[in-house]
Structure 1
Amino acid sequence: MGTALVYHEDMTATRLLWDDPECEIECPERLTTALERLQQHGLKQRCLQLIAREASEAELGLVHSPEYVALLQGTQALGTRELQALSKEYDAVYLHPSTFHCARLAVGAALQLVDAVLTGAVRNGLALVRPPGHHSQRATANGFCVFNNVAIAAKHAQQKHGLRRILIVDWDVHHGQGIQYIFEDDPSVLYFSWHRYEHGHFWPCLRESDADAVGRGRGLGFTVNLPWNQGCSDVPWLQVGMGNADYVAAFLHVLLPLAFEFDPELVLVSAGFDSAIGDPEGQMLATPECFAHLTHLLQVLAGGRVCAVLEGGYHLESLSQSVCMMVRALLGDPALPLSGPMEPHGSALESLQCVRAAQAPHWVSLQQQGQPDLGWQVGWCLRLPSVTVTLNHPVALGAAPVLSPGTPCPEGRPSPLPLGEPQFKAVVTQAAAALSSLLDQLRLHPTPPVRVAVALIAPDTGLALPPGVLCEEGSLPQEETQAWARPHEALAQDGALTALGKVLYLLDRILDGQVSSGMAATPVPAAAATLDVAVRYGLSHGAQRLLCVAVGQLDRPPGLTDDGRNLWLNIGVEEAAAPSMFHVSVPLPVTTGGFLSCALALVLPLAYSFQPDLVLVALGPAHGLRDPQAALLAALLRGPAGGRVFALVDEESTPQLATVLARVLNGEAPPSLGPFSMAAPEDTQALMYLRGRLEPRWKMLQVAAPH
């Protein structure tokens, strides 16, 4: 199973035929530049390339009215003046004689991708399409969008393939109100959108784009809006300027908890890259590699069945590099380390606080993490410069007035800043520097020749390794191994010493860039000693920041110091403790919900805050994790470390555990955790205690703005 890339060159046919500065940014070069970059990076060649087909009228009718489809079909015979006149009846739309054909291809590409993934022909994929779709509604075009590609794909997956739970993730910088309107009363579709909002003053300027718009009727809680509002303090002239830390925080603290509880069978991504740095529409600061991290986080859902469909993105270099980063992640390649400080902006934390408060009544996963802000007035979240909406009781969801889809923007649609303005020049300069830095990283950190290698104590016929995983036979020279083992009596035995030599040899291969991730087995009595040596060896052989996640009774080595180079996280002790900011212990949660809260609200935020270049995951004797839990933990930790994860398991572990770990380190999705169950009160208390202690140092733990 691989990754599909769906495209048709006819989708480059439409272009603006008259002067319109607002619409000229939606141009054919958006596709051709992205394809060129995919080719240059060798990514296009690694994908299964599918030629898009036209969607049928019946397929378009899954979402759109027959009258609207007929109207667009008639545009094929119109002249330029007639097309311009018709275009003016819509908001930010231009029509072309080829629009109907191109829009049908865009829908057809999305449907082909869904069919390929759901029939098992491929694991995931990207439909590279235009026109985009997420603003389009039942009987109207809107915001460059003609047919709603992703919404039709979701309906198709429901009707043709019988899916009952679909997650739509819309990371375009504009609110995809078209998707929201179509599914707002449908509990089988969970729609998540973040978008530049500015308290209702950024296009499409809709009241129903705010955090308290959570769906209607049976769909209450299945619409999740995360509005980005005020500017960030370090770039005061930018109106919003959210960056990598803000985007990752939104996934960890809002999207993923809900998604795991929802348990989707398919993930559809409205992949708009106008939310990337340099884009004239979004004016955000997230760099292209961030979208590899977001894609990686989505791949742990739905068995890895992720279908991405292009939406916006109008800075050609930023768009094309972001597309490349996403495709790399879909192919299973490790994500490049994130650039910049991992600390969410205050305004981003305010937005997270608002959406968590609005959604908590509908989702156990948010309730169990503790909601100290549930008593505050939702009206505080809804302050608008021109309108103040006040609700007189806490978290009164669905009660706020919702304006109609046609409500005009209070100040009109903001136009992109002209290139001559110093502020926008600064954004372009910063984007160019970020993209140049990204290319340097690609040169400095090429994809290792071997993605995963395993070192076994003895051949194990029960181990079913996926294709491409290397069984490493090498070992560190015995004399050098003995020198590292000398302080530990448990390593004096021949079997333990031999295993240690294999561990250190494989660790060397990871540190020198020949292998991305690894897994090794250790004798049970020597597990703690082997981990101690591995940590010290890694720190002395090139690891600048090493994160160790030890599961079970594996105590922190006494010789480790809090010098900022190592962070030790022990899961499975009796009581939560944080003796220092670099030494954290937490009990192993007993329920699925408790484990997910631990992983998403503690382990990953610590990892992304620390930004390690190597992660050691050690599963000690009687560690207590089920195979799917161990696999999910290893899979999630691939992101913060740029793929460099070394898993240590004891030799008595089952072949099934070793197999599933090798598979997730190789880029496959972890198996399902099973039915969601609420965290035990003691696990919630332990989590809240640790977060309160650690937040001052590790900023990615924050879920609310400081009061």
Structure 2
Amino acid sequence: MGTALVYHEDMTATRLLWDDPECEIECPERLTAALDGLRQRGLEERCLCLSACEASEEELGLVHSPEYIALVQKTQTLDKEELHALSKQYDAVYFHPDTFHCARLAAGAALQLVDAVLTGAVHNGLALVRPPGHHSQRAAANGFCVFNNVAIAAKHAKQKYGLQRILIVDWDVHHGQGIQYIFNDDPSVLYFSWHRYEHGSFWPFLPESDADAVGQGRGQGFTVNLPWNQVGMGNADYLAAFLHVLLPLAFEFDPELVLVSAGFDSAIGDPEGQMQATPECFAHLTQLLQVLAGGRICAVLEGGYHLESLAQSVCMMVQTLLGDPTPPLLGLMVPCQSALESIQSVQTAQAPHWTSLQQNVAPVLSSNTHSPEERSLPLLGESPTGTVAEDSLSPLLDRLCLHPAPPICTAVASTVPGAALCLPPGVLHQEGSVLREETEAWARLHKSRFQDEDLATLGKILCLLDGIMDGQIRNGIATTTALATAATLDVLIQRCLARRAQRVLCVALGQLDRPLDLADDGRILWLNIQGKEAAIRSMFHFSTPLPQTSGGFLSLILGLVLPLAYGFQPDMVLMALGPAHGLQNAQAALLAAMLRSPVGGRILAVVEEESILLLARSLAQALHGETPPSLGPFSKASPEEIQALMFLKARLEARWKLLQVAAPPP
């Protein structure tokens, strides 16, 4: 269905008319820089471009008082001195004769985007707007914000479409207190915000920005504040927050729509945030959200004041919404001590309200956990004031090239006819094969496991693997006989290493043991999901039982598989479903969908033939970028499932730092 881009050039009309160092950063060039970036990279032309229309006064009234709307309307006729005097009545706000028109366009753009997504005209999209909105309150402008664009969009989605569960993800570096106030007692809106807080010493200096502000009345637990108490938070810190706080709550909440208050002042180089997250991090955050709400994501621009960083971050988000592979994340995946403390404080505050946090494992903040000052990788070009030097930012952003999508997204190598597999449109049935002699040479070590028909299939699978590693195919699915599954997986591992893959992640489900002759040298990370007990054979070889509850399965993915995958940073993922793998359709699809992010989509799923007719379509859809089906009602992990996860985390976290973050016990 595609991706919408909602914009109107009139939103560049407002600008500061007097000298005010605090407000001068909110300038028209923010929009033009972002739009120019999208155009230069060919992303705008791939979107459905919609020209924003003004929100009506009735629509503004979903959130704002009639008196406040009338006051903003009056600014159209005020002179410069009157505008300046009115602006000084609010905190960090400036008015302009075009403010009312621009602010109505900004709110209207958010409404148009919600309409386009919820009517099925598009799958997702971005409203490129100014002024921003998340600080604005019912009767007050605040922090550059006039009308609360995202809050109005949420109210509109509830009123017009009858939605009962809306998730708002606010990754702007400032707390969106306006959204929090509007939905403080509303259990139909789950509001998550991370923000620079520094124990209350950073704007907007509010105690209700801290982790213990969880909502009021029926809305308790539906406000989730994650305060960053130091600057310098980076990719690992943001990922840890998603994996150990936001996503567990979001899966339990099961939203029908995701709204993103997309502020990019939380990216590297921004003078407001002074954070270290690189633009490609926002591609990963976006893709992690795409497994929710049927992929219905509406992002609305908030802050972002370093023009180059803003433009790059917007491009990263849009290319992910369009379905392009995520680029690799830079740097070590080691959350800092301050981030772990903040995340744990959120988990402590929220655990009484969420089963998904009650079942997780308390983090161990080990002595070798880094603080921002002690990271193995220094903050890039940091000046004594904590800002990032211009001469260090540009070379970094230059490396963040937007990789072209492979010509083929997903391919299937199978002896089962494509029609029988009911593959979704756009998935190719692989016909090519490597030479018979080459196939026989690779199969020689496992000759007893391969019959003639198995060798023919292996040739197709090797050809498919080569296509993925050459960048011609993004990912694929292959079928084998039950007898040949383990041998096929071993051959694929050796082929990856021979083709100079530095790191290969193998997620093996069912009766598939790690090959005995495989060197334990850190190039292969082997996770076997089978049996009844968790076991660790090395820091790169371990196993865990397959959870039977939805809560246990989600904890396995979010609390173990993804932290390991992001920490390992593989070049290739092999996901093997062997005999007695036990995965249901929705579980297999979710696992495949979530594994796409850490590896840029380069996954080869190997499935034994008895399961392929059941799993082929959902696996292909997930690898192709479609949202996986729901796991069903959330059920709490069993004590045995929690114990297995605790056992692994306690022993692996010294090597795999993203495992250190989890919720306290109930």
For the superposition of Structure 1 and Structure 2, which TM-score range results when normalised by the shorter chain? over 0.9
CA distance in structure 1 between the partners assigned to 2:534 and 2:614 by the alignment: 30
What SS is found at the alignment partner of 1:19? Answer: coil
Distance 1:341 1:705, change over 3 A: farther
Deviation at residue 704 of structure 1 after TM alignment: 6.6
Q: Is 1:595 matched up with 2:539? A: no
Residue in 1 that maps onto 2:375: none
**Alpha-carbon contact 1:448-1:516 (below 8 Å) kept:** yes
Once the 2 structures are TM-superposed, how far is the Cα of residue 579 of structure 1 from its aligned partner? 0.8
Change in 2 beyond 3 A, CA 1:427/1:467: farther
Alignment of 1:541-690 (within 5 A): 541-690=499-648
Quote the Cα distance in structure 1 between the aligned partners of 2:349 and 2:446: 54
Residue of structure 1 in register with 2:347 after alignment: 356
Equivalent position SS for 1:682: helix
Give the letter aligned to residue 65 of structure 1: S
Q: Is the 8 A contact 2:502 2:571 kept in 1?
A: yes
Q: Does 1:257 align with 2:248?
A: yes
1:338 and 2:296 correspond: no
Equivalent residues of 1:113, 1:127 under 8 A apart: yes
Q: Contact 1:90–1:140 (CA<8 Å) still a contact in 2?
A: yes
Q: Of 391, 396, 401, which residue of structure 2 is paired with 1:434? A: 396
Picking from 303, 308, 326, the partner of 1:312 is 303
Partner residue of 2:367? Answer: none
Within the alignment, does 1:477 sit opposite 2:435 as a pair?
yes
Partners of 1:552 and 1:482 in 2: CA distance: 26
Whole-Å separation in 1 of the counterparts to 2:252 and 2:416: 40
Contact in 1 for aligned 2:6/2:126 (Cα 8 Å): yes
1:254 is paired with a residue of what secondary structure?
Answer: helix
Determine the C-alpha separation between the residues in 1 that align with 2:478 and 2:42.
Answer: 31
Contact 2:4 2:113 in 1 (8 A): yes
Distance 1:242 1:681 in 2: 34
Match of 2:67 in 1: 67
Q: Does the aligned pair in 1 maintain the 2:363–2:660 contact within 8 Å?
A: no
Pair 1:178 & 2:140 matched: no
Shift of 1:705: 12
One-letter code aligned to 2:393: A
Structure 1 residues 527-564: Cα deviation after superposition (integer angstroms, max 9, x where no partner): 11111111111111131100000111111111112211
What secondary structure does 2:611 align onto? coil
1:699 is aligned with what amino acid?
A: K
Deviates more, 1:445-454 or 1:144-153: 445-454
| Contact 1:332–1:668 (Cα < 8 Å) also in 2 | no
Contact 1:456 1:520 in 2 (8 A): yes
User: C-alpha distance in 2, partners of 1:532/1:538?
Assistant: 10
Q: Partner of 1:17: helix, strand, or coil?
A: coil
| Aligned equivalents of 1:448, 1:252: Cα separation in 2 | 28
Give the 3 Å change call, closer, same or farther, for CA 665–92 of structure 1 in structure 2: same
Question: C-alpha separation between the residues in 1 aligned to 2:383 and 2:488?
Answer: 59
Match of 1:410 in 2: none
Post-superposition offset of 1:495: 1.3
Number of aligned residue pairs: give it.
649
Q: What letter matches 2:392 in structure 1?
A: Q
Distance 1:256 1:219 in 2: 19
The answer for the alignment partner of 1:150 in structure 2 is 150
Q: Distance in 1 between matches of 2:387 and 2:352?
A: 44
| Distance (whole Å) between structure 2 residues aligned to residue 370 and residue 582 of structure 1 | 21
Cα distance change on mapping 1:425 and 1:625 into 2, 3 Å: closer
**Which ranges of structure 1 fall in alignment gaps of 5 or more residues?**
231-239, 374-418
Contact 1:547 1:614 in 2 (8 A): yes
Partners of 2:382 and 2:388 within 8 A in 1: no
Deviation at 1:345, TM superposition (A): 0.7
Structure 2 residue 415 is matched with structure 1 residue 453: no
Q: 1:528 aligns with which of 467, 486, 497?
A: 486
Distance in 2 (CA, whole Å) between partners of 1:83 and 1:421 is: 37
* Cα distance per residue 1:457-503 (max 9 Å; x no partner): 13231333333322221111111111111111444311111111111
Please give the secondary structure, in 2, of the residue aligned with 1:452: strand
Q: Which amino acid aligns with 1:15?
A: R
Name the CA shift for 1:66/1:649 in 2 (closer, same or farther; >3 Å): same
Q: The residue matched to 2:93 in structure 1 has which SS?
A: coil
Match of 1:94 in 2: 94
Quote how far apart the aligned CAs of 1:250 are.
0.3
Counterpart selection for 1:300 from 288, 291, 301 = 291
Cα distance, 1:704–1:632 mapped onto 2, change above 3 Å: closer
Cα distance in 2 for residues equivalent to 1:349 and 1:108: 38
Secondary structure of the corresponding residue to residue 319 of structure 1: helix
Give the secondary-structure state (helix, strand or coil) at the position aligned to 1:640: helix
Q: CA deviation at 1:574?
A: 2.2
What SS does the aligned partner of 1:488 have?
helix
Equivalent position amino acid for 1:666 in 2 = H
Describe the superposition over 1:32-54 as per-residue Cα deviations: whole angstroms up to 9, x where unpaired: 11111111111111111111111
CA contact (8 A) 1:594 1:679 kept: yes
Other-structure match for 1:121:
121
- 1:389 aligns with none
Per-residue CA deviations over 1:316-336 (Å, capped at 9, x if unaligned) read 010000000001110111100
SS of 2:392's equivalent? helix
| Partner amino acid, structure 1, of 2:26 | E
Partner of 2:141: 141
Structure-1 residue corresponding to 2:476: 518
SS in 2 for 1:599: helix
Q: Does 1:241 align with 2:199?
A: no
Percent sequence identity is 74
Matched, 1:487 2:445: yes
How does 1:270-309 map onto structure 2 within 5 Å?
Answer: 270-309=261-300
User: Are the structure 2 counterparts of residues 420 and 13 from structure 1 closer, same or farther at C-alpha, using a change threshold of 3 Å?
Assistant: farther
Aligned residue for 1:94, secondary structure, equals coil
Q: Please, what TM-score do these two structures have when normalized by structure 1?
A: 0.90
Please give the root-mean-square deviation of Cα atoms over the aligned residues, in Å: 1.7
Amino acid at match of 2:547: P
